[in-house]
Structure 1
Amino acid sequence: MDCWKGAISHSWIYPTVIICANGFFSAMMPSESFLTPYLTGPDKNLTIEEVTNQIFPVWTYSYLALLFPVFLITDYMRYKPILLLQGISFIITYLLLLFAHGVLAMQLVEFFYGLATATEVAYYAYIYSVVSTDHYQRVTSYCRSITLVAATVAALLGQLLVSLADVSYFHLHVITLTSVSLAFVCSFALPMPQKSMFFHRKDVSEPLPAPEKAAPPLGSDRPSSYQEDKGSPPADRAPTPEQQADDAKPRNQVLRVLVQLSKDLRDCYSSRKLLYWSLWWALATAGFNQVLNYIQVLWDFRAPSHSSAVYNGAVEAIATFLGSATSMAVGYIQVNWDLSGELALGIFSAMDASSLFLMHFIDNIWACYAGYLVFKACYMLLITIATFQIAVNLSMERYALMFGFNNFIALLLQTILTVVVVDSKGLGLDISTQFLIYGSYFTFIAGIFLIRSIYTITSIKCRNTDVTGESIDQ
């Protein structure tokens, strides 16, 4: 019996089931869609200005400050301890939301939520360290799908409980606290990985291919610096085996990893194609996260929750469903993305800008809801295309690195937007004016890629015309 359990625990099925359970309960937050009405309602008695200009910006700042160190610590500690830290952060977040009061306490809530958000990298990276490459595609699908399902179910459940059962926002947060506590319990059942992508590796003798070469899918290669670490030392140093063992100390290991990461990043961004897709990724994700962070404030401004019916949960459920549907549709679209990709980025970014302008200029709450649905669906469509275009040209390790760096740049841009536009120490603009700024921001993004796509298409047509003319002359 013990042998059978051991075999199951070492197969790909057991860790996949547990990590999916963790992902489901972590994303099962029916209170998430009603955070702003909860904070501005009788439970917390905060003003909309305090929530917008003093509380919500703390999440962006803490997320930015924690993202890079958490990324390194996650890999060094092999994921599971960071998943436990994520569970603790969520539990503290919702305990404070339930029982603490005042602006300072809610700023502390945003700090711990930023910590929990920064540790999400452990969820998506863990599974690759405990299953073979043969199962990467399947487990990736499971892990990502389960979080979308949980988010949709949570938003719909929250709306039904509020609208039909008259459940208070306080009790929605109790349900969320229970869910994240179950996710924390699931983390204990995960087997501890024996390897990670950068610090704890196996089969490190294979060199990592450059992005311009046809890299095998899903990480069948290894960085060249690790070959140097394990191979013959430089002649001018010629360390003994004992000295080589000393070099494996954490500080030197961190330095080697940082050097290798910088080399990999330089190689990745030397590809012009990857550079343009990454540029859109960073710019658009910064704006998308900013809109998601403050959309509930706009809804509450258009239809105050204390005097109007609130349909935030229903809208979030529909938006998540549309996002997943458009993401799935990408797999069935046959398009030459090298030719039309930048045009698609420009067109759909323009649609994003139009939906944000709609939310600014039209006071009707239903127009705001409709604009948000279009905005999220367009972004999810494009981010799926961008993810595919980047991933298909990179190994798993380099994809994870580029994914993390693109998101870091996006978060840096989002922080600048927050400091200038939202924070009370900056301009501290009202929520309607903020969405005018966000619409202008996406107009700028659309302009960049529409101009770039026109240049690309024109260049290709001129090149084809020259080739045709030369053929006729011959």
Structure 2
Amino acid sequence: MSELYPTILLCLYGFFSSLRPSEPFLTAFLMGPDKNLTETQVVNEIYPVWTYSYLALLFPVFLATDYLRYKPVLALQAASFVATYAVLAWGRGVLAMQLLEFFFGLATATEVAYYAYIYSVVPPARYQRVTGYCRSVTLLGSAAGSLSGQLLVSLALVPLRHLVGATLAAAALAFVVPWFLPMPGRSLFFHKRDGEPGEAEKGRSRNERRGPAMEVRGPGGAVGRLGDVESKVPLNGEAARGGLTEVLCVLWEDFLRCYSRRPLLAWSAWWALSTCGYFQVVNYVQALWERVRPPHDPALYNGYVETLSTLLGALAAFAVGSVHVCWTTWGELALCVFSTVMAACVFTMDLVRNIWVCYGAYILFRAAYMLLITIATFQIAASLSMQRYALVFGVNTFVALLLQSALTLVVVDTVGLGLDVFPQFLIYGCYFAAIAAVFLLAALSKLATRRRSGAPAVPGDETDSDTRSLPT
């Protein structure tokens, strides 16, 4: 019962905080008669604020989450969602909408508390099952929100402002839940109990606890955010019982050890590069749809598209577990092929000015990303001991946001080029094509090296057991 109670509450919180009927129609609402904002204001002045605030808040919130032992930060996230949709409902003008984006950046940065909390109150043997529950219910909430919003718009002809009210009501229900959660007695970094298992004992149960790394949340809410696998791991040694300086020193030492290994670096590079581009496409695709949608057909089908892409992406991620591929041999080539597919989808959305083609390309784009990000997550996790999951996935997400901020500043923001949405997507297509080219060269280089050395291209030929499942 001590485990069941917080699990049920977290599932309730995850469902209602992800239930957002207005999300598929956000751009249409901002540019419609309710807010009467222009495309330039929405795309080039308002949306970039989320990227900047998410990046600025990510690392300090990550440390504060552990120091405050999760529950206060989970309440802060719930409050941030309420503030976001309250401003959306009643705010007016560019400045108010920029404040909305800041609150949403705070909400996404604090999402680490959602998954970190459960690992402080359940034993490691139940990590995989509980993570599956929490992960599934957030996907269900996201899909239910998109589908209900679409049905209300299409069948009941409900105005978009009422969908914002429904989203605010769901956020208010989610806000109530964290207050009933018990306060954890320990945390992963700053607050550890005396007599907890040492590193050797943790190492013996490593395989048992690796399962949750497979649970990857795509950003339907925009993935790549700090999720379940990144927050459940204690730090090495006694330093975790110390203060901020000791924690940062251990983080830095582990950072140098992890990223000095080429296989992990390869998967992490794809993670950061592709997540940056994925965020950009997902953030601005609604503006593209508004431009492509025929003026004589005012019907909106964004909700159906978001629902289908979320469910198909979740199915693709789930299917990874039954696919048996020698990633040691074919890792870089798979990264190249799927990056090419994603580039083709973005080019199609940009060049084929048909709303149904855009919808189809977007669904395929999201499914391809969620499939490969699941593979990348598992491959990275398989090469690490548990205590380094948090560092690697946190760094990868931070680098993705750093790249996204630079891309936003140069391409989207009015401070930079402030491009129209169509040139933006042309650049994003070229961006994914460049990623594909990089990993094609890496695959060819590895193949040539293997041929020269005569090494067998089979799993298990590496001498380092920690990197056995990664491309070398």
Matched residue, 1:271: 261
1:282 is paired with a residue whose SS is helix
Matched residue, 1:76: 67
Range moving further from structure 2, 162-171 or 392-401: 392-401
1:156 CA displacement = 0.8
1:197 is paired with a residue whose SS is coil
Q: CA distance change for structure 1 residues 114 and 465 in 2, over 3 Å: closer, same or farther?
A: closer
1:179 CA displacement = 0.8
**Quick check: 1:204–1:222 contact (8 Å CA) kept in 2?**
no
Q: Please, which of 130, 139, 159 is the counterpart of residue 150 of structure 2?
A: 159
**Structure 2 residue 355 is matched with structure 1 residue 365:** yes
2:198 is paired with a residue whose SS is coil
Matched residue, 2:432: 442
- When normalised by structure 1's length, the TM-score is 0.88
After TM superposition, list the pairs within 5 Å mapping 1:62-461 onto structure 2. 62-202=53-193, 203=195, 206-207=198-199, 215-218=206-209, 223-226=235-238, 253-303=243-293, 308-461=298-451
Deviations 1:48-80 (A, max 9, x none): 110000000010011111111100000100111
2:278 is paired with a residue whose SS is helix
Q: CA distance change for structure 1 residues 15 and 101 in 2, over 3 Å: closer, same or farther?
A: same
Number of residue pairs the alignment of both structures matches: 435
1:224 CA displacement = 4.1
- Unaligned stretches of 5+ residues in structure 2: 211-231, 458-472
1:308 CA displacement = 2.1
Matched residue, 2:50: 59
d(CA) in 2 for partners of 1:190, 1:26 = 16
Letter in structure 1 aligned against 2:119 = Y
**Quick check: 1:216–1:395 contact (8 Å CA) kept in 2?**
no
1:458 CA displacement = 2.9
- Unaligned stretches of 5+ residues in structure 1: 1-7, 231-247, 468-474
d(CA) in 1 for partners of 2:296, 2:4 = 48
Q: CA distance change for structure 1 residues 370 and 201 in 2, over 3 Å: closer, same or farther?
A: same
1:394 CA displacement = 2.2
Coordinate RMSD, CA, aligned: 2.2
Q: CA distance change for structure 1 residues 162 and 333 in 2, over 3 Å: closer, same or farther?
A: same
Larger Rg: 1
**Quick check: 2:233–2:390 contact (8 Å CA) kept in 1?**
no
Range moving further from structure 2, 49-58 or 305-314: 305-314
**Quick check: 1:67–1:118 contact (8 Å CA) kept in 2?**
yes
2:187 is paired with a residue whose SS is coil
- When normalised by structure 2's length, the TM-score is 0.88
**Quick check: 2:188–2:235 contact (8 Å CA) kept in 1?**
no
1:205 CA displacement = 6.5
Q: CA distance change for structure 1 residues 215 and 267 in 2, over 3 Å: closer, same or farther?
A: farther
